[in-house]
Amino acid sequence: MRHDGHVTGGYLKGRIRREDIITTAVAVYAEAGYHGSSLREIARRVGITHAGLLYYFPTKESLLAAVLERRDAQDTERERLAVPPGREALAHLVALAEYNVRHPGIVDVYARLAAEAVAADHPAHDYFERHYRMARDYAVASLRVLAERQELRPGVDPELAGLNLVALMDGLQVQWLSNGGAVDLVGALRFYLRDLLTVPLD
């Protein structure tokens, strides 16, 4: 208990401050990318100095790592990716796209970082390589399940269609961002999936 009557709660204030910094970093990354963002700008929005920020995250890279970790945790939580591959998983994919369309900031960071991280020496390169591989495997596995149940249109290769599904979502996001949301991202995704299946998703 401090003399002003407030309880600091041990490390609680520190954890809140860390979360605050991460949230702010996401917003700044969305505007300027990772390389284009400065610790000073992020710190300014949080209300501390850039040296103060470095007290919580010792390097610029460690802050990026924290941003990516939190994103993974949130995705897993929200979409309950524990859902086994299959029809329900594809429905979740559409739900995720719908969520993203309502939260352009998230899409923005992601698209920007993914493109930056194409460079092999980018600090997020391995993260995105892993992320894409997992997304592809999940999509392919889901389509394989449908194929076994004869719910996939004849001639559709689960391997290639799964790769295309992930690529399509990515490409649609970039176009959707580029022209300020005029592209019907969710409609195009639904069309692709409906066209692939013999039994509609919903």
Binding site for its own copies (CB under 8 A): 31-33, 35-36, 108, 111-112, 114-120, 125, 128-129, 132-133, 136, 155-157, 160-161, 163-164, 166-172, 174-175, 177-180, 183-184, 187-188, 191-192, 195
83 touches DNA (CB under 7 A)? no
- Which CB sits closer to its own copies, 6 or 102? 102
Contact indicator for 68, 124 with CB cutoff of 8 Å: yes
Rounded to a whole number of angstroms, the minimum distance from the CB of residue 198 to DNA is 52
Residue 29: closest CA among 113, 123, 119, 129: 113
Cα–Cα nearest to 172, from 88, 107, 95, 121: 107
What is the spatial distance between Cα 182 and Cα 112, in angstroms, rounded to a whole number? 19
Over 47-110, what HEC string results?
A: CCCHHHHHHHCCCHHHHHHHHHHHHHHHHHHHHCCCCCCCHHHHHHHHHHHHHHHCCHHHHHHH
157 binds, among its own copies, DNA, none (CB under 5 to 8 A by kind): its own copies
Which residue's structure tokens are 């790592």? Answer: 65
User: Containing H/E element for 95?
Assistant: helix 87-101
153 binds DNA (CB under 7 A): no
Nearer to its own copies, 10 or 179 (CB): 179
Among DNA, its own copies, none, what binds residue 54 when CB lies within 5 to 8 Å by partner kind? Answer: DNA
22 or 172: whose CB is closer to its own copies? 172
Of these, 15, 19, 23, 49, which contacts DNA (CB under 7 A)?
Answer: 49
Could you say whether residue 55 binds DNA (CB under 7 A)? yes
Residue 103 contacts which entry, DNA, its own copies, none (Cβ below 5-8 A, type-dependent): none
Among positions 5-44, residues that touch DNA (CB under 7 A) are: 13, 17, 37-41, 43
Of 25, 56, 20, nearest to 39 by C-alpha is 25
Measured over the CA atoms of residue 100, residue 103, residue 104 and residue 110, the dihedral's sign is negative
Which residues are at the interface with DNA (CB under 7 A)? 13, 17, 37-41, 43, 47-52, 54-55, 58-61
